[in-house]
């Protein structure tokens, strides 16, 4: 049976503009877009609220927070996945690339255990059973400063919905943690390390990078090609690092740490993604470049929720204020991330696209989601 729904008298967020109109949904797709504030019989009156494409999240640590809610506490993967899925849906995110670290350090105080393959399998099983509200893809965060990256990557195939692979290097003293004091503060608070343990941890990471880094980097580039996934850089800091990224075929930069790197990204045709918490807090928790500065310099293209799901919509609205253009701000969380990962069936309000939608109002500058739809069905 054909299912239809008309969302009328809405402020539609379209490509490059906002205007009053309605959207007709048929069998999970956008079937018609009309102008005006009329409310046809049987339609849902949105009373002028904003209607936007659902948000597309490319890099979120939220799932990791659910599987390890406290250091050393392992939570049920299925329960964590369902909770994570529902939380994202409630904030207007309708497509997520679930970030999972590959590359582990099995021993020592600073150890990182392997988990991605099993977690991905459980996520795909839940998806196959239609137990999840939103659309899930895999984002493998490939940590070159590790012991087991190549073997962990080899466990994935092109059937795993790996849509994104980010090339990550958290060696102390460069990229995100150029300031060792910031790393010390972060690791000690998260892992409870003593001064001596932290010194040993830093030395171990530097040793791993020296022994395995180059081989791991090459393996990541090759495996991303095998998956057919988009390859992203992470925490590029210098123009030289960006040039290396461009040489790998990278077209998406996650969280460049300096204006220099962001400028170099644009010069190489690489889209720049920054974290919503950085924008909303007014700066980076690691002491790196502020997302607001990049926005004002016209060097910001995509926004990720990073570690606060609700921040993605907030940041898009904030960018709309900074740029004086709400449609442009919303594009950083809808059409721009869709384009970056090659999703052509969503991210814009257009006839024939998926009816992944969010209805929200704005009060005192804060967006308030009022309804979220995935494939035309209300999920939050």
Task: Please report, for the chain, the start and end positions of each structural domain, with discontinuous segments joined by +.
Answer: 54-347
The mean-pLDDT minimum among 76-80, 286-290, 324-328 falls in 286-290
The DSSP element (H or E) to which 127 belongs, if any, is helix 116-128
The DSSP element (H or E) to which 77 belongs, if any, is helix 77-90
Mean pLDDT of the chain: 92
CA distances in angstroms from 89 to 44, 65, 160, 360, 373, listed in the order given: 21, 16, 22, 13, 9
The verdict on pTM exceeding 0.85 is: yes
- Report the candidate in 87, 102, 93, 99 with the shortest Cα–Cα distance to residue 60: 99
pLDDT score of 14 more than 80: yes
DSSP string across 276-290: HHHHHHTS-TTS---
Q: What is the mean pLDDT of residues 237-246?
A: 96
Q: What is the mean pLDDT of residues 176-195?
A: 64
State the Cα–Cα distance between residues 102 and 150, nearest whole angstrom: 9
State the Cα–Cα distance between residues 300 and 292, nearest whole angstrom: 9
Q: What is the mean pLDDT of residues 315-331?
A: 98
CA distances in angstroms from 208 to 148, 165, 174, 231, listed in the order given: 10, 21, 15, 23
pLDDT confidence tier of residue 331, bands split at 50, 70 and 90? very high
Phi, psi at 139, each rounded to 5°: -125, 110
Q: What is the mean pLDDT of residues 252-263?
A: 97
Out of 3.10.105.10, 3.20.20.140, 3.40.1170.10, 3.40.50.880, select the CATH number for domain 54-347. 3.20.20.140
pLDDT score of 198 more than 80: no
DSSP string across 279-344: HHHTS-TTS---HHHHHHTT---EEE-BT-TTHHHHHHHHHHHHHT-HHHHHHTTTHHHHHHTT--
Query: Quick one: pLDDT at residue 314?
Result: 98
Query: Quick one: pLDDT at residue 285?
Result: 72
pLDDT score of 287 more than 80: no
Give the Cβ contact number of residue 74 at 10 Å.
12
pLDDT score of 110 more than 60: no
Give the Cβ contact number of residue 185 at 10 Å.
13
pLDDT score of 122 more than 70: yes
Q: What is the mean pLDDT of residues 350-356?
A: 98
pLDDT score of 181 more than 80: no
pLDDT score of 1 more than 70: no
The strand pair at 17-26 and 4-14 is best described as: antiparallel
The Cα angle at residue 365 between residues 325 and 320, in degrees rounded to 5: 15
The Cα angle at residue 319 between residues 14 and 86, in degrees rounded to 5: 75
pLDDT score of 172 more than 70: no
pLDDT confidence tier of residue 199, bands split at 50, 70 and 90? confident
Query: Quick one: pLDDT at residue 179?
Result: 62
pLDDT score of 180 more than 70: no
């Amino acid at each position: 049976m054909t299912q239809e729904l008309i969302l009328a008298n809405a402020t539609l967020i379209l490509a490059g503009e906002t205007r009053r109109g309605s959207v007709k949904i048929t069998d999970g797709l956008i079937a018609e877009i009309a102008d005006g504030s009329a409310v046809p019989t049987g339609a849902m009156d949105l009373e002028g609220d904003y209607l936007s494409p659902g948000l597309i999240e490319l890099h979120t640590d939220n799932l990791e927070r659910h599987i390890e809610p406290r250091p050393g506490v392992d939570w049920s993967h299925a329960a964590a996945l369902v909770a994570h899925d529902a939380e994202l849906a409630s904030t207007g995110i309708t497509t997520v690339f679930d970030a999972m670290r590959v590359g582990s350090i099995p021993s020592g105080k600073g150890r990182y255990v392997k988990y991605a393959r099993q977690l991905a399998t459980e996520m795909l099983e839940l998806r196959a059973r239609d137990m999840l509200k939103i659309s899930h893809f895999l984002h493998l965060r490939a940590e070159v400063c590790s012991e087991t990256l190549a073997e962990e990557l080899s466990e994935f195939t092109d059937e795993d919905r790996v849509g994104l692979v980010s090339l990550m290097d958290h060696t102390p003293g460069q990229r995100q943690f150029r300031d060792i004091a910031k790393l010390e503060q972060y690791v000690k608070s998260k892992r409870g390390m003593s001064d001596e343990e932290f010194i040993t941890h830093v030395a171990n990471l530097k040793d791993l990078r020296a022994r395995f880094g180059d081989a791991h980097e090459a393996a990541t580039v090759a495996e991303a090609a095998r998956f057919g996934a988009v390859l992203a850089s992470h925490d590029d800091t210098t123009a030289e690092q960006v040039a290396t990224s461009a040489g790998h075929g990278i077209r998406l930069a996650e969280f460049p740490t300096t204006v220099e790197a962001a400028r170099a990204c644009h010069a190489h045709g690489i889209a720049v993604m920054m974290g919503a918490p950085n924008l909303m807090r007014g700066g980076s928790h690691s002491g790196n470049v502020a997302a607001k500065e990049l926005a004002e310099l016209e060097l910001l293209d995509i926004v990720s929720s990073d570690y606060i799901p609700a921040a993605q919509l907030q940041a898009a609205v904030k960018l709309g204020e900074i740029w004086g253009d709400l449609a442009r701000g919303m594009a950083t969380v809808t059409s721009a991330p869709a384009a970056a990962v090659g999703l052509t069936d969503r991210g814009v309000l257009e006839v024939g696209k998926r009816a992944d939608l969010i209805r929200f109002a704005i009060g005192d500058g804060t967006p308030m989601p009022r309804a979220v739809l995935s494939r035309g069905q209300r999920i939050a």
